[in-house]
Structure 1
């Protein structure tokens, strides 16, 4: 079980690296004014989303389900676990919305300013703080 937990934590770290960095790329992409920069950001966004974020998200979910399988009754009775699941579902929605935004930028369809993406970039930070507190402190 400890090996599964270790690899789950590694996958979470890799996933969050992408969740933190991709919206930052959106900030810079929204600010870019020349075609060369825009094309470079398109490549970076696509590679980050497909090459790092998707595999890390899949590994995170798969390993999390594996951990859950060790003691489903205990997890289902824990209030903190239900709250964590809600946050994970919201992160999954955020993740796939980022994928949508990668396609919007790819198609030169972005209508939002860099300020929007600066705020958008903060959402996974709040989720991470909340999830770590729930898992470590188990407040309820």
Structure 2
């Protein structure tokens, strides 16, 4: 019975509503910071950007693990249906909003703090584009799994799990070290 409650359509709508409310609160918080702390606004935006990136990366790291386990589940089984719900909610409620917030705040910082100057910043943006492509690949896989389309192997998803990790490491090095 508890599993049925978690995979019902109304539970999914409630999760989406909560995500929308959270984004609204986030936007309101940014506006409040702009009004109350205009001198430190860029630092606040940087903090919010890092929070969004952490949420996005958590999803990018976790989703391929779900795919590894989902690959082993028999299509149509309760286990497979549960993975479909988990994957869909992770994508729609956490990963997509976190990616969008990361992009918006990151581009704001690139413009307001750095004036889009610096080789390291251009390299970082390129790597973030590649990270977004990895996100899109995972989104496509969620849609494929949701209709029980042919699946890639668990080994494939274990290897795909490494791409966001390597990109994240390179991005952090560029941001902290600014080598060029």
Query: Normalising TM by the smaller chain, what interval?
Result: over 0.9
Per the normalisation by structure 2, the TM-score is 0.74
Per-residue CA distance 1:70-109 (angstroms, 9 max, x = gap)? 1453x32x11111111100011111111111000000101
Which consecutive aligned stretches of 4+ in structure 1 deviate over 6 angstroms post-superposition? none
Q: Larger radius of gyration, structure 1 or 2? A: 2
Number of equivalences: 138
For structure 1, which runs of at least 5 residues remain unmatched after alignment?
none
Q: In the alignment, what sits opposite 1:88?
A: 128
Q: How does 1:61-140 map to 2 (within 5 A)?
A: 61-73=103-115, 75-76=116-117, 78-140=118-180
CA distance, structure 1, for counterparts of residue 48 and residue 60 of structure 2 = 18
Q: In the alignment, what sits opposite 2:52?
A: 11
**Aligned-pair distance for 1:128?**
0.6
Q: How does 1:33-52 map to 2 (within 5 A)?
A: 33=74, 35-52=77-94
How large is the Cα RMSD of the aligned pairs?
Answer: 1.2
CA distance, structure 2, for counterparts of residue 127 and residue 100 of structure 1 = 20
For structure 2, which runs of at least 5 residues remain unmatched after alignment?
1-41
Q: Secondary structure at the match of 1:112?
A: coil
Conserved 8 A contact 1:30-1:110: no
Higher relative contact order (CA 8 A, sep 6+): 1
